[in-house]
């Protein structure tokens, strides 16, 4: 795990859903469930390194507001003193994560990562800089072939925009953006120029559950990854698709996330696991632990907690599954990646 006390400087306000407790609770839970866990401290990247994914104007804009210490990047991203340094730190973790994978690590997890809404010239959805896109570009510059798999309930619109013209495969499984922020991430957004065909959006209907998530993986994600043949997986592991999450309308359970992790582990590829959404702080650490545990082949210690947490969960609705199958069929019949 990559962790720094600097993560805890996050301060969007006491009533904001994105709070530093999500990091401290996750670290503490992981330490009890994975006693042999290595915790490594990342270092902030230099601002100029961000020019690979963000404009100079935007980087300077964030820096100036950070020095000022108040204001807003946008309506849901309030500024706090040091927000610039905080964002450079979690992007530094993305870089360090890739370096660790290149040095022989199998799985690296950064809970303060996965901030996939930040675009080239703007923030979005609590995200200052986009560490997901940065990690992919950095990995490519190291001669690797990354694939981005984003399971957050909100579409990875910033990652899509930044990498829209790059031939890096980006797969985002999310709640239909007709109903949920960011209002972007539709099936027909295929990418452009060299990136044409390398952007796959899988918008699931509201209330979609484990069966729908499994269909998306078995019918779209697994075949696409096998065809693309990456050598690194960058996983945006937002867990706000969980059925109790206060900000979304999906219905995944912890068992659904467990199956996803099993499928990803079956590729036998190094994985950079980044955080992302998840706003029920009582379950986020457990959900990230079950994903991480399956990726490293050591999840037994989390299963009892998972059973207690999900004892009232409901299975997917058959009508919802039918709608999901229509989405999948539309992708398979229209997306250039599958028509080649």
Residues 85, 6 contacting (CB under 8 angstroms): yes
Exposure string over 13-35, b if 16+ CB within 10 A, otherwise e: eeeebbbeebbbbbbebbeebbe
Beta bridge partners of 235: 149, 273
SS3 126: coil
Tokens standing for residue 289: 């632990």
- The size of the chain, in residues, is 340
Strand residue runs (E) in the chain: 72-74, 77-78, 107-110, 146-150, 169-175, 199-204, 232-236, 271-274
Q: Quick one: which of 150, 133, 111 has its CA closest to 29?
A: 111
Alpha-carbon gap, residue 173 to 169, rounded angstroms: 13
The strand order across the sheet containing 107-110 reads 107-110, 271-274, 232-236, 146-150, 169-175, 199-204
Neighbours of 79 (CB within 10 A): 22
Residue 229 contacts residue 201 (beta carbons within 8 Å): no
Question: What are the E-state strand segments in 139-292?
Answer: 146-150, 169-175, 199-204, 232-236, 271-274
Is 178 among the catalytic positions?
no
- Residue 7: strand, helix, or coil: helix
Supply φ then ψ for residue 91, to 5 degrees.
-70, -35
The Cα 32–Cα 214 span in angstroms is: 29
From 54, 116, 117, 154, active-site residue: 117
Report d(CA 162, CA 30) in Å as an integer: 32
**Cβ neighbours of residue 40 under 8 Å, at least 6 residues apart?**
1, 2, 3, 96, 100
Q: Would you name the residues annotated as active-site residues?
A: 117
């Amino acid at each position: 795990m990559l962790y720094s006390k600097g993560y805890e400087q996050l301060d969007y306000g006491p009533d904001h859903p994105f709070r530093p407790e999500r990091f401290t609770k996750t670290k503490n839970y992981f330490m009890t469930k994975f006693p042999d866990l290595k915790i490594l401290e990342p270092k902030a990247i230099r601002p100029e390194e961000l020019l690979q994914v963000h404009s100079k104007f935007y980087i300077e804009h964030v820096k100036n507001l950070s020095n000022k210490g108040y204001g807003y990047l946008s309506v849901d991203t309030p500024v706090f003193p040091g927000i610039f340094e905080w964002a450079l730190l979690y992007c530094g973790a993305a870089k360090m994560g890739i370096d660790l994978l290149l040095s022989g690590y199998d799985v690296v997890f950064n809970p303060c990562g996965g901030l996939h809404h930040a675009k080239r010239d703007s923030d979005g959805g609590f995200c200052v800089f986009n560490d997901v896109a940065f990690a992919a570009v950095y990995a490519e510059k190291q001669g690797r072939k990354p694939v981005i798999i984003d399971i957050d309930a909100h579409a990875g619109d910033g990652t899509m925009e930044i990498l829209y013209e790059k031939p890096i495969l980006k797969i985002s499984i999310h709640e239909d953006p007709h109903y949920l922020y960011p209002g972007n991430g539709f099936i027909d957004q295929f990418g452009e120029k060299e990136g044409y065909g390398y952007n796959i959006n899988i918008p699931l209907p509201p209330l979609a559950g484990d069966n729908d998530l499994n269909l998306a993986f078995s019918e779209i994600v697994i075949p696409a990854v096998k065809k693309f043949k990456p050598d690194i997986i960058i996983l945006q592991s937002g867990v706000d698709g969980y059925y109790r999450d206060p900000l979304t309308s999906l219905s995944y359970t912890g068992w659904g996330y467990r199956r996803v992790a099993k499928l990803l582990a079956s590729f036998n590829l190094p994985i950079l696991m980044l955080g992302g959404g998840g706003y029920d702080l009582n379950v986020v650490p457990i959900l990230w632990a079950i994903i991480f545990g399956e990726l490293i082949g050591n999840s037994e210690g989390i299963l009892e907690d998972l059973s207690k947490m999900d004892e009232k969960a409901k299975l997917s609705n058959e009508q919802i599954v039918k709608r999901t199958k229509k989405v999948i069929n539309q992708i398979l019949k229209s997306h250039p990646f599958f028509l080649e």
